[in-house]
Amino acid sequence: MSSEPATHQMPEDGDDRVVISVRGVGKSYRMYDSPAHRLWQGLLGKRKSFFREFWALRGIDLEVRRGETVGIIGRNGSGKSTLLQMIAGTLTPTEGEIQVHGRVAALLELGSGFNPEFTGRENVYLNATILGLSRQQIDARIADILAFADIGEFIDQPVRSYSSGMVVRLAFAVIAHVDADVLIVDEALAVGDAFFSQKCMRFLRDFQKRGTLLFVSHDAAAVTNLCARALWLENGRPRMVADAQDVVERYMAEQHIAERAQSGEQEFVVVAAKRSSKQEESAHAASLPDFREDALREAHALPRMQIFQFDPDSVGAQFGVQQAVIEGVELRATDGRMLHVLDGGEVVDLSIRVRLRNALDQVIVGFYVKDRLGQRLFGDNTYLAYVKNPPKGRAGEVLKSRFRFRMPILPAGSYMIDVAVASGSQLEHTQQHWIHDALEFRALDDTISFGLMGLPMLEIAVANEGGV
Ligand SMILES: Nc1ncnc2c1ncn2[C@@H]1O[C@H](COP(=O)(O)OP(=O)(O)OP(=O)(O)O)[C@@H](O)[C@H]1O
């Protein structure tokens, strides 16, 4: 037998700054070629081996310090879940040693911590107790947990009747309220609907300020966005541990090369005619179309976006002193038409209607567009445009602001617009009303976008300048 495996809690009050220590860890499984071999093994026991040993994970060393967020990436089957389960203590390593300091909460296998016959509420009590909360502590937090999960009356139904989205909501709500020191989250499970994803990402960002986070994702952008460091697993072996950006770039480059080699595809080439320079120079930037538009339209490759309407009853968190409140948020075409779909690159008007409950001067209205990870892509406010003559109004009056901009070309996915009204100056102001996730829109096609967002290209040119 291999060296004694161990997963255990280090004392809570230890002053060691390393919170997770993984040393020489490996996990092996016995693989039988047929059920008969498994049976013979059972019968003949130690005299002969009828199995092959398969190392799902081997040679893993990792130290995570308090407050760090470490991402784990790798293809399907590379060993990510195996490693996390061992750190969470739900799987025993075959070799090596794992030490974890503090209270660990994990969101790993879907619903693995829930008893399907118990109601959601009973499972909350069960799980939170296992994670170290007393009955009184749970009683004090149950309202917050239920509000976070937001599954309505289902909370008193058996968990077996839940959709997978509901299970994730409840599981996340529990781990978010148990004062964990270490959180282990498999991002694939945290993708419920767009509003819930935003809520989870907000929570994780907040948690990062006080706790240690291990985050598994197939989504390279999510890893660079959240993590300082990353571990790349390949076929159960550590391939690279370094700065998240470096790891992700190498990982993506290799994925890309592997995919291209597999499909035997040629490099993608776009040849586009250049507009006459006179035409370009005279055109006003705002009226310039993306010059690829015709070709893209023919190829049905315009990145369509679907816009959902503002509904004050189904938005994310809100805050502010509310002497002014946001009553309406709309995306319209420049001719005033209400938009339900639009294409990346189109000029749009975002209008925000604010009602003043008290007289206010120096009003600032603004917005942010965020991606599904809550990452702010762009935004603006009225401050600079009105610095000499700040908007004001009396109690009961409505201020309507409009931001006209060219919608970027966005990778497929869900996006949210946060809107806010404040009073004061850019540097010193009182938040009157901030609404997270006020308006949702979804980009459906990302055939021509690169990075977090694409901009309409004014020109793309290639010239062979010779020189051999
Ligand atoms: N109980 C088991 N018995 C045998 N092999 C197993 C067992 N559990 C996992 N494995 C194998 O271990 C390897 C690592 O699996 P693991 O689930 O950790 O990968 P992963 O990186 O989390 O994959 P995914 O991204 O698909 O979730 C895989 O080859 C898997 O088939």
Q: What is the pLDDT of residues 251-290, one digit of tens each?
A: 877 776 676 566 554 332 222 222 233 333 333 333 444 4
pLDDT at 294: 54
- Of 85, 86, 96, 83, nearest in space to 24 by CA: 96
Q: What is the pLDDT of residue 52?
A: 75
Q: Does the structure's ipTM exceed the value 0.90?
A: yes
pLDDT at 273: 27
Tokens found for residue 452: 């977090």
Task: Tell me what percent of the residues of the chain surpass a pLDDT of 90.
Answer: 41
Per-residue pLDDT, 107: 85
- Using the atom order of ligand 1, give the atom closest to the CA of residue 74: 21
pLDDT score of 333 more than 50: yes
pLDDT, mean over the chain:
81
The more confident residue out of 69 and 464 is: 69
pLDDT for res 265: 44
| CA nearest to 418, candidates 380, 364, 456, 447 | 380
Residues having CB within 6 Å of any atom of ligand 1: 29, 56, 74, 76-82
According to the model, what pLDDT value does residue 338 have?
86
Measuring from atom 5 of ligand 1, which residue has the nearest CA? 29
Report pLDDT for 97: 96
Q: Closest Cα to atom 29, ligand 1: which residue?
A: 77
Q: First-to-last CA distance in the chain?
A: 66
Is the pLDDT at 43 greater than 90? The verdict is no
| Most ligand 1 atoms within 8 A of CB, residue of 32, 73, 80 to mutate | 80
Of 127, 111, 106, 130, nearest in space to 216 by CA: 106
> Which ligand 1 atom sits nearest the alpha carbon of residue 81?
22
Please state the domain extents for the chain.
6-102+181-257, 304-443
Pocket probe mutation, ligand 1, options 38, 54, 82, max atoms within 8 Å of Cβ: 82
Residue 466 CA to ligand 1 center (angstroms) comes to 53
- 101 contacts 181 by C-beta, under 8 angstroms: yes
Closest CA to 331 of 348, 314, 315, 346: 348
Band the pLDDT of 9: cuts 50, 70, 90.
very low
| Residue to mutate (ligand 1; options 38, 51, 78; most atoms within 8 A of CB) | 78
- Answer yes or no: same fold for 6-102+181-257 and 304-443: no
Long-range Cβ contact pairs of 277-280 (< 8 A, separation 24 or more): 280/458, 280/459
Q: Which of the given ranges, 140-144, 185-189, 268-272, has the highest pLDDT on average?
A: 140-144
Ligand 1 atom with least separation from CA of 236: 14
- pLDDT in the model for residue 251: 84
Q: What is the per-residue DSSP string for 151-198?
A: -GGGGGSBGGGS-HHHHHHHHHHHHTTS--SEEEEEHHHH--SHHHHH
Q: Write the DSSP symbol of residue 386.
A: G
Question: Using CA of residue 253, residue 258, residue 264, residue 265, what is the dihedral sign?
Answer: negative
- Nearest residue CA, atom 25 of ligand 1? 76
Most confident of 3-17, 110-124, 232-246: 232-246
Domain 304-443, CATH: 2.70.50.60
Cα–Cα dist 413/407, whole Å: 15
pLDDT given for residue 274 in this prediction: 29
How confident is residue 192, by pLDDT bands cut at 50, 70 and 90?
low
Most distant pair of Cα atoms in the chain: their distance: 91
Summarised one tens digit per residue, pLDDT across range 54-103 is 999 999 999 999 999 999 999 889 999 899 999 998 899 999 999 998 89
CA-nearest of 188, 147, 192 to 167 is 192
Q: Could you tell me how far CA 358 lies from the centroid of its own chain?
A: 38
Q: Report the pLDDT averaged over residues 359-377.
A: 89
Mutate to test the pocket of ligand 1, among 81, 86, 108 (most ligand atoms within 8 A of CB): 81
Tell me how far the alpha carbon of residue 77 lies from the centroid of ligand 1, in angstroms.
5
Looking at domain 6-102+181-257, its CATH architecture is: 3-Layer(aba) Sandwich (3.40)
Report the DSSP pairing between strands 347-356 and 398-406: antiparallel
Using DSSP bridges, classify how beta strands 95-101 and 6-10 pair: parallel, antiparallel or unpaired: parallel
pLDDT at 111: 60
25-34, 41-50, 396-405: which has the minimum mean pLDDT?
A: 41-50
C-alpha–C-alpha distance, residues 341 and 305, integer Å: 5
- Indicate which residue's Cα is closest to atom 4 of ligand 1: 29
pLDDT band at 188 (very low <50, low <70, confident <90, very high): low
pLDDT computed for residue 447 by the predictor:
56
- Report pLDDT for 295: 53
CA of 74 to the centre of ligand 1 (A): 12
Q: Are 103 and 181 in contact (CB under 8 A)?
A: yes
Quick count: other Cβ atoms within 10 Å of Cβ 323? 17
